[in-house]
């Protein structure tokens, strides 16, 4: 009887196995319908049920009042809510990181049996495979070297600090990875490993001086004339290194996000200045990517403790301009140095790390990251919120018991953002939601230039130019021709109460022939708009979306409209506009305003003269085959008798004045209450060789014995 039952059971299992194999992925209920038994109109294919879920990982540190880790907890001891909605914990894993782990045996420098590993750089961190346990109860430390920001001396100090840590301070609980950014890509030179000789081999073979073509330097009055005042990449939209450095750091954080454990990224850099276009959106995007990936940044200023003279040390040439006599150069140098450290401090503070600044012991920064990681729990749950709207979701973790404990966990995260087959209303709503989101979009490159011109004693006209590279736009075949479409939305807020002063809304839709499409990929799309604002500090946020792919780019920065009516020590001047093209206003660019608003804007826009509009370069990259147009306004309001002003444009390269225009004398317009004097310069760039220059505009008031100086870096390409 038992044998008969066993045979029947095996037969039943075999039949079920065949049935399940034939209908894998399909949920079937009731008897199978075949032949004439099928209902009329039934489909031959069975229905498929698709379920979408997303696993959320939270790392939670639990310590008692004395700061000691608490162990022995399970999933039943925790509760998790997301936006106030309780979530079911799917798994809980305790990571035990012994703080007094045994250091690896100390080997004197130069006596290791280091093998040279000739391996190609990786682009991904390898996660654990099924059944493999590599990272449990290990501390994950990623050494990230930003070679573009560090001069050779700083690179050597950073590499020596890393080597010292691996030789003498790395413990049996540590796994170390090595990443490098040299200006073109983020290279994963070594995945997480405890092989000390392998790590030392990678560090020994790293080339000192790599990535220096993208080193970030100053470009203001405090800059020494060494010829390196503008060391960014030569590509027009990659000319501002800070965005590229932060984007590379974001890429590294996302690569580490493939692992569920806590990760510490030790970031070696010689400061990080948010200059150039000063896109705050990329900084926020990098921080949010690290938070989502469970990565904390531990920046180390490779410059160490810096103490230099008011005008720099002996390695620099002397500064030029009047700033060296007024103290402006020394003040600007100190301010720039502080800003470069502020960015590192912000990266650390916003992601749970700590920056090491003004310390010659660079290895201390690695040790700080090492000691900061103690026992923690990995909690995983499948979120009940399946919306892909990119909004922030607040997470709260608590203990179910009344145990007195301090919990350290991520306070929330931004949900995923998705582009689909939206209707017109859905697309409009997506742009509005994206504008309000704290997590910016960085899928599309976008640059913005903001200028100001005084209209009267109280108001200023602020033209805004938005630039998107044509090569990043997708062309879609519609009606036998290529078409491209861009949506633009933005807003300007004041910094006092965060009140929205004005909104930006526009779109561009063009039908392109084959020849036009080829040419379009080589030039950018430029949008223009203008607003009237009062003096003060403002924040602008602009989003551009490629309607064919749904890719969105965010630009966000702060700007100041000064009160020129209170300027008494210098000649009051407007923004200085550098342009490489002047075209009919109707065809020059795509304008937000139209109809009566466009005519009104034209009347007050100083960039429109005689039906021609001056289009700012935005990226300040110019072609040798074209002329450079320089425009600004000077004001003599309140003067008893308006006198002619003089101005000229100079080009510096290193310590040499390469070119200077003729002195131009301009009389103020008597028909304006501000006694406005427009200054126009046309520079023949064919007289200059391709390269990097400092363009300086000088305005002099001989009668009032006053002057004004403006300087900015430019790049001249063949």
The pLDDT tens digits for 232-242 are 233 455 544 45
Measured distance CA(668)–CA(637) in Å, rounded: 10
pLDDT bin (cut points 50, 70, 90) of residue 474 is low
Return the minimum-mean-pLDDT range out of 24-28, 304-308, 309-313, 422-426.
24-28
Q: What pLDDT was estimated at residue 432?
A: 73
DSSP helix, strand, coil percent of the chain (3-state; round to 5):
25, 35, 40
**Alpha carbons within 13 A on the beta-carbon side of 1:** 0
Tell the burial category of 47 from Cβ atoms under 10 Å away from its Cβ (0-12, 13-18, 19+).
Answer: exposed
Average pLDDT over residues 64-71: 87
Average pLDDT over residues 638-646: 76
Percent of the chain residues topping a pLDDT of 70: 70
Measured distance CA(57)–CA(262) in Å, rounded: 10
pLDDT reading at 51 higher than 70: no
* 543-568 pLDDT, tens digit each: 888 877 778 888 888 889 999 988 88
* 533-548 pLDDT, tens digit each: 999 999 888 888 887 7
Return the minimum-mean-pLDDT range out of 1-5, 73-77, 707-711.
1-5
Per-position b or e across 64-83, b if 16+ CB within 10 A of its CB: eeeeebbeebebebbebebe
Return the minimum-mean-pLDDT range out of 107-116, 275-284, 451-460, 570-579.
107-116
pLDDT reading at 652 higher than 90: no
pLDDT reading at 9 higher than 60: no
Average pLDDT over residues 96-100: 75
Q: What pLDDT was estimated at residue 588?
A: 47
pLDDT reading at 69 higher than 50: yes
Tell the burial category of 102 from Cβ atoms under 10 Å away from its Cβ (0-12, 13-18, 19+).
Answer: exposed
pLDDT reading at 101 higher than 90: no
Q: What pLDDT was estimated at residue 431?
A: 74
Q: What are phi and psi of 125, to 5 degrees?
A: -85, 130
Place of tokens 């983020």: 186
Return the minimum-mean-pLDDT range out of 49-53, 163-167, 171-175, 234-238.
234-238
Return the minimum-mean-pLDDT range out of 21-35, 495-509, 569-583, 602-616.
21-35
pLDDT bin (cut points 50, 70, 90) of residue 595 is very low
> What pTM was estimated for this model as a whole?
0.66
Query: Which position has the higher pLDDT, 336 or 58?
Result: 58
Average pLDDT over residues 692-707: 86
pLDDT bin (cut points 50, 70, 90) of residue 124 is confident
């Amino acid at each position: 009887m038992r044998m008969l039952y066993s045979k029947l059971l095996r037969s039943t299992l075999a039949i079920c196995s065949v049935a399940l194999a034939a209908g894998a992925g399909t949920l079937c209920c009731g008897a199978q319908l075949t032949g004439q038994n099928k209902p009329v109109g039934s489909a031959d294919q069975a229905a498929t049920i698709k379920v979408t879920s997303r696993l959320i990982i939270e790392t939670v540190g639990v310590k008692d009042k004395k700061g000691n880790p608490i162990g022995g907890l399970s999933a039943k001891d925790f509760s998790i809510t997301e936006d106030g909605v309780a979530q079911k914990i799917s798994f809980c894993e305790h990571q035990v990181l012994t703080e007094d782990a045994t250091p690896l045996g100390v080997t004197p420098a130069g006596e290791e049996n280091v093998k040279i590993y000739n391996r190609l750089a990786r682009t991904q961190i390898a996660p654990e495979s099924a059944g493999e346990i590599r990272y449990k109860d290990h501390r994950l430390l990623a050494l990230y070297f930003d070679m573009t920001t560090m001069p050779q001396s700083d690179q050597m100090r950073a590499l020596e600090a890393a080597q010292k840590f691996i030789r003498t301070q790395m413990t049996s609980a540590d796994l170390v990875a090595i990443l490098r950014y040299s200006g073109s890509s983020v290279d994963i030179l070594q995945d997480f490993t405890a092989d000390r000789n392998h790590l030392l081999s990678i560090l020994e073979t790293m080339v000192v001086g790599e990535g220096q073509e993208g080193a970030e330097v100053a470009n203001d009055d405090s800059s020494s004339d060494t010829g390196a005042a503008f060391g960014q990449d030569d590509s027009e939209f990659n000319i501002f290194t800070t965005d590229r450095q932060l984007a590379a750091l974001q890429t590294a954080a996302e690569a580490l996000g493939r692992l569920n454990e806590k990760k510490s990224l030790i970031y070696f850099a010689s400061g990080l200045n948010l200059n150039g276009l000063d896109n705050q959106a990329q900084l926020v995007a990098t921080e949010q990517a690290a938070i989502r990936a469970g990565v904390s940044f531990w920046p180390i200023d490779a410059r160490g403790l810096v103490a230099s003279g008011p005008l720099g040390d002996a390695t620099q040439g002397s500064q030029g301009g009047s700033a060296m006599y007024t103290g402006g150069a020394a003040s600007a140098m100190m301010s720039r140095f502080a800003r470069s450290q502020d960015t590192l401090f912000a990266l650390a503070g916003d992601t749970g790390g700590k920056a090491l600044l003004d310390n010659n012991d660079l290895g201390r920064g690695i040790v700080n990251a090492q000691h900061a990681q103690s026992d923690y729990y990995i909690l995983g749950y499948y979120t009940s919120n399946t919306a892909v709207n990119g909004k922030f979701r607040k997470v709260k973790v608590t203990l179910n018991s009344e145990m007195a404990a301090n919990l350290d966990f991520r306070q929330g995260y931004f949900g995923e953002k998705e582009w689909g087959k939206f209707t017109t209303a859905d697309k409009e709503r997506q742009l509005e939601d994206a504008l309000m989101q704290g997590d910016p979009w960085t899928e599309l490159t976008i640059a913005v230039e903001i200028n100001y011109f005084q209209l009267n004693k109280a108001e200023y006209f602020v033209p805004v130019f938005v630039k998107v590279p044509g090569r990043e736009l997708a062309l879609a075949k519609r009606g036998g021709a290529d078409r491209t479409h861009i949506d633009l939305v933005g807003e300007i807020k004041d910094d006092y109460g965060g009140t929205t002063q004005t909104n930006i809304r526009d779109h561009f839709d063009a039908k392109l022939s084959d020849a036009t499409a080829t040419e379009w990929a080589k030039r950018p799309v430029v949008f223009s708009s203008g607003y009237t604002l009062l003096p003060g500090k403002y924040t602008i946020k602009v989003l551009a979306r490629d309607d064919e792919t749904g890719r969105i780019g965010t630009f966000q920065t702060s700007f100041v409209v000064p009160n020129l009516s209170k300027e008494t020590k210098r000649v009051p001047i407007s923004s200085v506009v550098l342009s490489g093209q002047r075209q009919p206003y109707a065809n020059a660019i795509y304008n937000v305003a139209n109809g009566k608003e466009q005519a009104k804007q034209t009347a007050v826009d100083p960039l429109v003269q005689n039906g021609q509009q001056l289009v700012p370069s935005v990226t300040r990259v110019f072609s040798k085959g074209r002329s450079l147009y320089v425009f600004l306004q000077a004001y003599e309001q309140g003067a008893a008798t308006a006198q002619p002003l003089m101005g000229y444009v100079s080009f510096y390269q290193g310590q040499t004045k390469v070119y200077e225009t003729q002195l131009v004398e301009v009389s103020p317009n008597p028909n304006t209450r501000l006694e406005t004097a427009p200054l126009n310069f046309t520079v023949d760039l064919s007289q200059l060789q391709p390269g990097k220059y400092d363009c300086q505009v000088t305005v002099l008031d001989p009668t009032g014995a006053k002057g004004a100086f403006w300087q900015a870096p430019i790049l001249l390409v063949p």
